Structure 1
Amino acid sequence: MQGGTSPRKVMVVAEPTRESAAALQYALSHAVLEQDELILLHVENPNSWRNTFSTFLRRPSVGSSSTVGSSDGGGGDVDFLEEMKHVCKATQPKLPVSVERVEMEGKDKASVILFRSITLRIDLIVIGQRRSLSTAILGCRRQVGSMRGTKAIDTAEYLIENSKCTCVGVQKKGQNAGFLLNTKTHKNFWLLA
């Protein structure tokens, strides 16, 4: 651990996806220090059929302990945010971890994340990134400006290009193969785990 470094606020965009799990794994193993604060941010879309469907399919917990700091009255349901928080505490017990849930409120997801990062004074955003075959072969055509009305740029790319703080897009490559990272200044940077 380095002495004299000031604590940072690190935000991981949390979703029930393997890309989000890879982002959390990268953050815990390479991005956060013990004195930093980790915020798991989940943007909920109350109008999404997936949100309704996932609530219906939520599995009951099996002998789980109390969900410390749960912001929903889950009543025994296993919440992926609480599971992610548990992983954080198991990996880095002294790391302060908090969970933020925000609704889209008619905005696009990237704008909501960007606004929360400014509001919370985040120093680093870590987001799981999915690459399509066409993006990998042709490269991403970045569009600056509003994300509305364009499908050529995804949430991670928008955040990488438009956030005031550093944003890292993370892709997990195989079980032990490492991470492929994207930032505003480094594209397709390979980090062996």
Structure 2
Amino acid sequence: MEGGGTAAARKVMVVADPTRESAGALQYALSHAVIENDTLILFHVETIPNPNAWKNPFGALFKKQPNGGGGGGCGATSSSSSSPAAAEGGGGGGGDQVDFLDAMKQACMAAQPKVKVVVVKTEMADGKDKAAAILAQSAVLKVDLLIVGHRRSLSNAILGYKRGGSLRALDTADNLILNSKCTCVAVQKKGQNAGYLLTSKTYKNFWLLA
């Protein structure tokens, strides 16, 4: 790239859920993945509501982020339906889903005020696979980098590479890594300041300091 030029803007998608793993993935994206002029897409697949799940993860993991009061050049776009592309509009009605997505968006605005933030939601039909919905949306939006939170318990570590089963959270991450057409990174946050374990097609359990 010629001197003084800026890097081409990319689309970075973070799988947004009301979980500690998803909050850790977003922290990694904000501190290590996105740069100025990128678009950060917070993509949430609506399944069974979990009204209380968002309160602890985001309160704990983002408590050190400055509130900022909303200023800055971080454009926010959200969708209120299962449309494949984000629809223009504000923050819609209340509810826990809106609350945790808003917490994520506010964290993005505080940490990366020059990154455009887009919120996209879709509903997952009965019997459909969450990973398939994420892969389809990343293709529609032409995402350059896909980031997903990763939980690796002892049982998941033992069973995680058996194919044909229906493992849940870990299988979603593994499925995305294996089948994403763009680069996919699964992130496991190790404590508040201990760093991240990263897994992709090309490396497994790569340690990155916070």
The TM-score range, normalised by the shorter chain, is 0.7 to 0.9
**Corresponding residue pairs, total:** 174
1:81-136 Cα shifts (integer Å, max 9, x gaps): 01100000000111100100100123111100000000000000110000011333
TM-score by length of 1: 0.80
Residue 95 in structure 1 maps to residue 115 in structure 2: yes
> Which amino acid counterpart does residue 46 of structure 2 have in structure 1?
E
Identify the residue that residue 81 of structure 2 maps to in structure 1.
none
Find the residue that maps to 1:15 and give its secondary structure: coil
Q: Give the residue type in structure 2 aligned to 1:9.
A: K
- Per-residue deviation, 1:174: 1.6
Unmatched 5+ stretches in structure 2: 56-68, 71-75, 78-89
Gaps of 5+ in 1: 59-64
- Once residues 101 and 108 of structure 1 are traced to their aligned partners in structure 2, the CA distance between those partners, rounded to angstroms, is 15
Partners of 2:14 and 2:147 within 8 A in 1: yes
> What CA distance in whole angstroms lies between the structure 2 residues aligned with 1:76 and 1:100?
16
2:99 pairs, out of 79, 91, 109, with 79
Deviations 1:130-178 (A, max 9, x none): 0011333x473153xxx7x633861011000100000000001122110
Question: For 2:148, which of 124, 127, 147 is the aligned residue?
Answer: 127
- Equivalent residue number for residue 166 of structure 2: 150
Change beyond 3 A, Cα 1:98–1:14: same
Alpha-carbon distance between aligned partners in 2 of 1:74 and 1:15, rounded to the nearest angstrom: 17
Q: Do the aligned partners of residues 160 and 78 (structure 1) sit closer, same or farther apart at CA in structure 2, a change above 3 Å counting?
A: closer
Inter-CA distance 83–142: structure 2 relative to 1 (3 Å threshold): same
1:21 paired to 2:23: yes
Q: Establish whether residue 117 from structure 1 lines up as the match of residue 119 from structure 2.
A: no
Equivalent position of 1:10 in the other structure: 12
Q: Distance in 1 between matches of 2:162 and 2:30?
A: 29
SS of structure 2 residue aligned to 1:54: coil
Contact 2:160 2:171 in 1 (8 A): no
Of 176, 179, 184 in structure 2, the residue corresponding to residue 159 of structure 1 is: 176
Any idea what the Cα deviations from partners look like across 1:13-33, whole Å, max 9, x if unmatched?
001111001000000000001
- Structure 2: distance between partners of 1:157 and 1:21: 18
8 Å CA contact 2:15, 2:22 repeated in 1: yes
Q: Determine the C-alpha separation between the residues in 2 that align with 1:113 and 1:76.
A: 21
2-structure distance, mates of 1:77, 1:139: 31
Cα distance change, pair 131–76 in 1 and its aligned pair in 2 (3 A): closer
Q: Which residue of 1 aligns with 2:206?
A: 189
Quick one: distance in 1 between partners of 2:95 and 2:146?
A: 31
